[in-house]
Structure 1
Amino acid sequence: MGFLRTTILTGLLGTTGAAAYLAAKNPVISPLAATDAIWSSRLYKQHNPSRNPATQDYSVKRIPLSKIRPELLQKEGDLTLEFCRGLWSGWGYAIQRKYLDYKWRGPETANQLWTSQQLATSNYDKGTFITDHFEVLEKTPNAITIRCGDSPRNQPLRGSDGLFIISTKIDREREEVELQLKSCLYSSQGTVSGVKGPMPPWMEELHQWYVRIWSETASWKLLK
Structure 2
Amino acid sequence: MDKKLTKPLSKDPYMDSLEMESDEPYNEELEASIRKMLIQLGEDPSREGLRRTPQRVAKAMDFLTSGYTMTVEEAVKDALFEDECEEMVIVKDVEFYSLCEHHMLPFFGRAHVGYLPKNRIVGLSKIARVIDVFARRLQVQERLTTQIANGLMSVLNARGVGVVLEACHFCMVMRGVQKQNSQTVTSAMLGTFRQDPRTRAEFMDLIRRSPY
TM-score by length of structure 1 reads 0.19
**Which protein has the larger Cα radius of gyration, Structure 1 or Structure 2?**
2
TM-score by length of structure 2 reads 0.20
**Larger relative contact order (Cα-Cα within 8 Å, sequence gap ≥ 6):** 1
